[in-house]
Amino acid sequence: MALSFRGGIALEETKKSALLAIEAIPAPAFAAVPFSRKPGERAAPVVQPEDRVLRGQLIAEPETENSVPVHAPFSGIVKEVCTDGNVGAIVIENDFKNALSESVVPFEKPISKAEPEELCEVIRAAGITDLGKSGVPLARRLQKAQGKARRLIINCVESEPALSANFRLVLEKTQEIVNGAKILLRATGIEKAVFVVEKSRQEAAEALMALCGASPNFKITALKSKYPQSADRQLTEALAGKRLSEGQTPLDRGFFIIGVESVFAVYQAFVYGLPVTERVLTVGGDALERSANLRVPIGASFEDVIRHLGGFVQKPQVVLSGGTMTGIAEESLKAVVGKETGAVIALLQGAEDREDSACIHCGRCVKVCPERLFPLYIARFSDQNQWEKTKTWDAGLCSECGCCTYVCPAGIPLLKKIRLAKENLALPKKGV
């Protein structure tokens, strides 16, 4: 029995994108590079329209510790700087010269002689986040983990079923990832790293084993392929054999979890001096002729991505930024690939909110909930606008993985109702 957590769902892969090597898409004519405008994570643009920028050049710099710098994915002319809403964008027109900025220089010192602070500074400047998951800057997390972490956990598990970008990255860039891990060990002062792979993706484990199986500092652990195994809390539960209680973080078990993509980005930042300006994502869905694992510049539109795959077979009903379980349905193909976009999925038919029967109390949602909540009760109280009761039933602990909604035989949009409850709980109380 492979290690795992309690709850969750085992999903079959529909298309075997795992067999497809990563291919780069041709540079698009335009890129709308997103940057955060959320209060507290705000970044400020440092370029004006009509400025010429070079590949890897800083175009927006962080205003707070929780935001990351943003860089140009290719050389060209800035056309527009948009700062409306929660996500701003800097539109750059490609001049197809691919001229590199002079700020892109490899880290000169040998890693073993560098101070952890210096290493963290390079990671900060490269704009590395928790790629594919959240926008939290890696440097910030490293800072917080100082002295608390005892194990570096390199998460090679896909964040969702049917994705394979992480797997392909491990397979094709094994050496780079191991080297990136070594840099991170130095930067965090941790001695041991654990690569976590999926049991069903044996080749990844073998490739890592061949490179660092003999080293006492590296360990490779295979986990059962189950969703949401990649989530930090579930990963910790599987590795530690004990689940985190309310409010605990992986750091309380001494784990510092980092996605394999971020490790690769760290490698690139040190060896080539390249900041994060592109990422690998799985593109698929039944509305597309073929699936693929693509290397896409940050800021490329979904249209560029889809065009590379030969367009749609038929007009899809939903286009997702992310996987089928947690992906955000986009309104148009103008949506852009950001640092957190893990996949682009186009489906002819999205799951509908059938709600064809009332809850029959079957308990399947409770069985699959990785946080061991009672989604049916939270949803019921949410329907009745009894927000305080949803709190009693721990609505706030929901990680929004969507397993409950996936299994509900009555077709009730449980997650939607739980989200509503969470939103209402976060609102300031009336009359206060």
Partner 1 sequence: MDSFLVKSAPHRHQPDSTRTIMADVILALVPALVWGVYLFGWRALLICILSVGFCLGFEALFQMILRRKVTVSDGSAVVTGLLLAMNFSVSVPLWMPVVGSFAAIVLFKQLFGGIGKNMLNPVLASRACLRLAFPAAMTSFVEPFSQLPVFSIGVSEEVLAASAGVTPQGFLKNGQFPTGLSLYDLVSGSYSGRIGEVSALLLAAGGLYLLFKRVISWHIPVGFFASLALLCFLFPSFGARWEYMLWQLFSGGLFLIVIFMATDPCTTPITGTGKLLFGFGCGLITFCLRKTDLSVEGAVVAVLIMNALSPLLDRLRFLPKLKKDKAPS
Min separation Cβ 340 and partner 1, Å: 14
- DSSP of 365-413: HHHH-TT---HHHHHHHHHTT-HHHHHHTTGGG-----HHHHH-TT---
Stretch that binds partner 1, among 118-126, 177-185, 263-271, 347-355 (CB under 8 A): 347-355
Question: Which residue among 17, 94, 301, 326 contacts partner 1 (CB under 8 A)?
Answer: 326
Min separation Cβ 248 and partner 1, Å: 18
Question: Which residue among 113, 315, 429, 430 contacts partner 1 (CB under 8 A)?
Answer: 315
8 Å CB contact between 375 and 366:
yes
- N residues, the chain: 432
Report the residue number, 175 or 357, with the smaller CB distance to partner 1: 357
- The DSSP symbol for 351 reads P
Q: What are phi and psi of 12, to 5 degrees?
A: -75, 150
Question: Which residue among 132, 327, 338, 342 contacts partner 1 (CB under 8 A)?
Answer: 327
Site map 399..428 versus partner 1, x via CB under 8 A = -x-x--xxxxxxx-x-xx--x---------
Q: What are phi and psi of 198, to 5 degrees?
A: -90, 140
Min separation Cβ 196 and partner 1, Å: 24
Report the residue number, 260 or 404, with the smaller CB distance to partner 1: 404
Give every strand in the sheet of 43-45, ordered side by side.
43-45, 58-62, 70-71
> Which tokens is 278 given?
């592109």
Question: Which residue among 353, 383, 385, 423 contacts partner 1 (CB under 8 A)?
Answer: 353
- DSSP of 223-244: E---BTTTSHHHHHHHHHSS--
Report the residue number, 206 or 303, with the smaller CB distance to partner 1: 303
378 binds partner 1 (CB under 8 A): no
Distance, in Å, from the CA atom of 150 to the CA atom of 274, rounded to the nearest integer, reads 29
8 Å CB contact between 337 and 87:
no
Count interface residues toward partner 1 (CB under 8 A).
50
330 binds partner 1 (CB under 8 A): yes
246 binds partner 1 (CB under 8 A): no
239 binds partner 1 (CB under 8 A): no
- Maximum pairwise Cα distance, the chain: 65
Min separation Cβ 335 and partner 1, Å: 10
Chain contacts with partner 1 (rule: CB under 8 A) = 315-320, 322, 324-333, 345, 347, 350-351, 353-354, 356-363, 366, 374, 376, 388, 392-393, 400, 402, 405-411, 413, 415-416, 419
